Homo-oligomer: A and B are copies of this chain.
Amino acid sequence: MTQADHNATWLAVDWGTTHLRAWAMGAGKTVIARRDSDRGMSRLTQDQFAPTLANLIGDLFAQDAPIPTFICGMAGAKQGWAEAPYAAVPCIPNDVKSATAFHTDRFQVHILSGVKQNSPADVMRGEETQIAGFLAQEPDFDGVICLPGTHSKWAHISAGEIVSFRTFMTGELFALLSQNSVLRHSIGTDWDQESFVSGLNDTLSRPSDLAAKLFGLRAESLLDDLPPAAARARLSALLIGAELAAAKPYWLEQNIVIIGASSLAAIYETALISQGVAARSVDAETMTLAGLIAAYLAQERAAT
Contacts and interface: CB of A to CB of B under 8 A. Distances in A.
A211 interface: yes
A176 B181 contact: yes
Interface in A253-297: none
Nearest to A86: B223
B182 A180 contact: no
B168 A212 contact: yes
A3 interface: no
A54 interface: no
A224 B118 CA distance: 9
Interface of A is mostly: helix
Interface in A200-218: 207-212, 214-216, 218
Among A122, A177, A208, A209, which residue has the most Cβ atoms of chain B within 10 A? A208
Interface stretch (A62-70, A127-135, A242-250): A242-250
Given A172-B181, A176-B176, A180-B176, A121 B216 contact: yes
B216 A246 contact: no
A123 B211 contact: no
Among A121, A123, A182, which residue has the most Cβ atoms of chain B within 10 A? A121
A156 interface: no
B216 A120 contact: yes
B215 A122 contact: yes
Given A121-B223, A121-B224, A222-B123, A211 B169 contact: yes
A173 B214 CA distance: 10
Contacts of A86: 223
A117 B223 CA distance: 9
B182 A246 contact: no
Contact of A215 (B168, B218, B242): B168
A121 B220 contact: yes
Nearest to A151: B215
A170 interface: yes
A166 interface: yes
Contacts of A181: 169, 172-173, 176
Contacts of A219: 116-117, 120-123, 167
**Across the A-B interface, the 4 shortest Cβ-Cβ residue pairs:** A121-B219, A207-B208, A167-B215, A121-B220
Given A118-B223, A122-B216, A168-B212, 4 more contacts: A120-B212, A169-B182, A209-B246, A212-B247
